[in-house]
């Protein structure tokens, strides 16, 4: 069985969890306090980062590379289109969320509100929180614009781009930082993702000291 070393609210870990679950690859989850790196963990990944996936006798790191490996090794229930232009669009959006969205929103909200307390790094920086709360509005509007022209974020089929976006938004939804009333199309898109069997394990995540809001696990939110 595969084993994933992860942090429950990490969007990068969640993206890998969704890819594995969508392809019905059984995986044992092991929580890793990467900010307190053990010698064993650093042997698995000298970079000291999660996720780390052990599968088929290999140890894989970096979420984007892991998801691409999974896609190539287990092409059934494909999360990448065949067409080169369409694949580029998926990769562009995955990078958008894992880079731009992460820098402007996730790191400003989730990391300030949750990670700092868990890691005992002090209190949230109110300026960062304010900037993140402002930036997420732009990103939700961009999602709404994409969904005006497409059934899913990258086109007519669900892809890794949808999982990347949902991984970040679900982490933020755990701490009530997503205004689902801002766009009906974005809310409907997330409801479709949220109702997939692959998503259910994420909805049962519990972080000590941070109970999720009632709507977090509600499919009819």
73-87 confidence digits (pLDDT tens): 999 999 999 999 999
What distance in Å separates the CA atoms of residue 97 and residue 142, rounded to the nearest whole number?
A: 11
Indicate the DSSP class of residue 211.
Answer: P
Is the pLDDT confidence value at 221 over 90?
no
Average pLDDT on 127-147 reads 98
List the beta bridge partners of residue 29: 4
Residue 220 binned pLDDT confidence (cut-offs 50, 70, 90)? confident
Task: Please name the residues in contact with 96: beta carbons below 8 A apart, sequence gap of 6 or more.
Answer: none
What distance in Å separates the CA atoms of residue 22 and residue 198, rounded to the nearest whole number?
A: 5
In words, the CATH class of domain 84-196 is mainly alpha
Measured between its terminal Cα atoms, the distance across the chain in Å is 34
Q: What is the pLDDT of residues 17-76, one digit of tens each?
A: 999 999 999 999 999 999 998 999 999 999 999 999 999 999 999 999 999 999 999 999
Average pLDDT on 183-201 reads 97
Q: What is the pTM of this model?
A: 0.96
Indicate the DSSP class of residue 126.
Answer: H
Tokens of 188: 């409907």
| CA Rg value for the chain | 17
What distance in Å separates the CA atoms of residue 135 and residue 130, rounded to the nearest whole number?
A: 9
Question: What is the per-residue pLDDT for 30?
Answer: 97
Alpha-carbon torsion (32, 34, 40, 44), positive or negative:
positive
Task: Write down the domain spans for the chain.
Answer: 84-196
Q: What are the backbone dihedrals phi and psi of residue 72, each rounded to the nearest 5 degrees, phi first?
A: -75, -35
């Amino acid at each position: 069985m595969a084993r994933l070393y992860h942090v429950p609210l990490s969007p990068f870990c969640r993206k890998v969890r969704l890819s594995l679950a969508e392809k019905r690859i059984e995986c044992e989850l092991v929580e890793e306090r990467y900010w307190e790196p053990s010698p064993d963990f650093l042997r698995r990944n000298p970079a000291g980062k999660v996720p780390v996936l052990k599968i088929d006798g290999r140890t894989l790191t970096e979420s984007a590379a892991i998801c691409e490996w999974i896609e190539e090794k287990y092409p059934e229930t494909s999360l990448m289109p065949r067409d080169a232009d369409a694949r580029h669009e998926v990769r562009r959006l995955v990078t958008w969320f894992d880079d731009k969205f992460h820098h402007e929103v996730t790191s400003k909200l989730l990391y300030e509100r949750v990670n700092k307390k868990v890691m005992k790094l002090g209190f949230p920086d109110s300026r960062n929180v304010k900037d993140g709360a402002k930036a997420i509005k732009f990103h939700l509007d961009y999602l709404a614009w994409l969904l005006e022209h497409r059934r899913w974020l990258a086109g007519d089929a669900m892809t890794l781009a949808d999982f990347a976006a949902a991984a970040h938004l679900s982490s933020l939804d755990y701490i009530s930082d997503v205004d689902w009333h801002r766009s009906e199309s974005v809310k409907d898109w997330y409801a479709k993702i949220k109702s997939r069997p692959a998503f259910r394990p994420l909805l049962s995540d519990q972080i000590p000291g941070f109970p999720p809001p009632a709507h977090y696990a509600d499919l009819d939110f």
